[in-house]
Structure formats: structure tokens, C-alpha cells
Structure 1
Amino acid sequence: MAKITGLGGVFYVVKDPKATREWYREKLGLDGEYGPQLNWSEETGEQPYSLISHFSDDKYMKPGTASFMINLRVDKLDEFVAILKTRGVEILDSVDEGYGKFAWLLDPDGIKIELWEQVDTPE
């Protein structure tokens, strides 16, 4: 039976796509022909997953300027946050929730990005 196998992408409108793609390449190390590309074949975690989560208000997206946010998986969050800081990226906050470690930043268009290191393996 046919089924959905994963998240195919996040698509949104920005003022200057070239500048935004350059920021993602320079700051986050993400590049690709059509924009930042993530290859699942590079994921090393056990039972990795993506999540589509729904909220009743936009408080979790703040201080982002959109009603959505982008969540990116990271293998070593603390190390990656240190790299981002050397690249001049402001980290809004970070937390270890036990099931995962999180950090937040804004892209140049005001979109909130949540970095997530999966800690627990889903049951």
C-alpha cells in the first residue's frame, strides 16, 4: 500500500531568495541546487523521525515573524551552536528537555529556526 515516507521540504516566500540561500549556506552549512537540502542518508541517529506539530497560537513561533517555524535535526547541538556563534549567529535560547536538546535562532527573513538533537529513541 502506498504511504507517505517523510517530509519533502518547507516552502515559503522571502524578499530575496538568493540572499536567504546564501545565509543558509554560510551560517548553517546547508546548500543545494534548489535551496538548502538535507539528505536522510547522512542521518546517523537511531530511528530518526520528522514531526508535523500543530499549535493553537503562535507563541512558540515568537520572536519569529511567521506563523510557522523550521525545525532542523542536529547531531551534536552544543558543538553546532558554538560554530554558529563564531559565524555571528545570535542564539535566542537553548534547553535540554531530556528527550532532546533544543536551540533557537532567526534566519535573515525573521523565520524562527529550532535546532533539535534527538536524544531518546522513539518506542
Structure 2
Amino acid sequence: MAGHSAGGSGGRITGLGGIFYRVKDPAASRAWYREVLGLDGEYGPQLAWADEPRAHPYSLISHFGDDSYIQPGTGGFMINLRVDDLAGFVADLRAKGVDILGEADEGYGRFAWLLDPDGVKIELWEQVEDRLP
């Protein structure tokens, strides 16, 4: 899944990293995805993408019992987008005046967050190949 550059010399979006949303019972939702759709993984239902050039790429569906991870987004869900060069992409966004809410390196990937014009939180994720979940 090819993406488009943010307009600068940095990275680009390469695909959908995942969808994150609030549910009443995360364990029951995860069990349904596992039992009915056959999707499971360490962090929730995972979809592997065998046709991607990166080793072991996947997208994730993640259920939360509250919306603290989604905040300060106001859309009730969060969109996770995969990027190939997080530092470059974030630099391009900042050059455009975009407010980056935070950044983190979790070992298996690097993350940055921003809000879209409608208040939906967007998480940018650069997957680290050698430390996959």
C-alpha cells in the first residue's frame, strides 16, 4: 500500500497501522475477533501483510475499555498510520505548523501523535523490524 509524502524530504505514510477504539468489554471484543474472524496477536487482532517488503508487517485492531489512550482526540477512535521515516515525516509536519502531541520509542516501534482538524487523534508508527511483538 503506497502512501504519499507529506510534501517535504522526510518519510511517507506506507499503510494503515491500525484502528483503535473504545468498547464496553475489550476482552470480549478481542475474543470475538479471535474466535469469529481468526484474528489474534499479542496486542489484539492482527492482520499480517505478506506482500509488503518489510519483514513481518501487520495492522492492528485495538480495543480499549476507556478512551484515555485516544485522548485528547474527540472522535471516539484513533487512526494509526504506518510511516517509513518517522523523524523525517514529523520534521515535515512541524515545518507546516502541525502540533505534535508527543513522541515515544517503545522498542518495537517509534510513535508520534497529532490531531486532525476534526479532533481525531492520529498515531504515526514506524515499525522496527528486529523487535516485533
Does TM, scored on the shorter chain, surpass 0.5? yes
Q: How does 1:40-51 map to 2 (within 5 A)?
A: 44-51=53-60
Q: Write the letter of the residue equivalent to 1:49.
A: Y
Task: Tell me which of 58, 64, 68 is aligned to 2:73.
Answer: 64
**Cross-structure match for 1:85:** 94
User: 1:50 and 1:80, CA in 2 relative to 1: closer, same or farther beyond 3 A?
Assistant: same
CA distance in 1, matches of 2:119, 2:69: 14
Task: State the Cα distance separating 1:85 from its structure 2 match.
Answer: 0.4
- 1:51 counterpart SS class: strand
Q: Write the letter of the residue equivalent to 1:85.
A: R
CA distance in 2, matches of 1:52, 1:62: 17
**Cross-structure match for 1:99:** 108
Question: Is the Cα–Cα contact under 8 Å of residues 15 and 81 in structure 2 kept in the other structure?
Answer: no
**Cross-structure match for 1:8:** none
- 1:115 counterpart SS class: strand
**Deviations along 1:29-80, whole A, 9 cap, x unmatched?**
6xxxxxxx9598x954222110001101000011100210000001110111
TM-score by length of 2: 0.59
Runs of 5+ in structure 2 lacking a partner?
8-13, 17-48
- 1:108 counterpart SS class: coil
- Percent of aligned pairs with the same amino acid: 62
User: How many pairs align?
Assistant: 90
CA distance in 2, matches of 1:114, 1:75: 14
Higher strand share: 2
**Cross-structure match for 2:120:** 111
CA distance in 2, matches of 1:44, 1:88: 32
Runs of 5+ in structure 1 lacking a partner?
1-24, 30-36
Cα RMSD between the aligned structures?
Answer: 2.7
**Cross-structure match for 1:6:** none
CA distance in 1, matches of 2:52, 2:59: 12
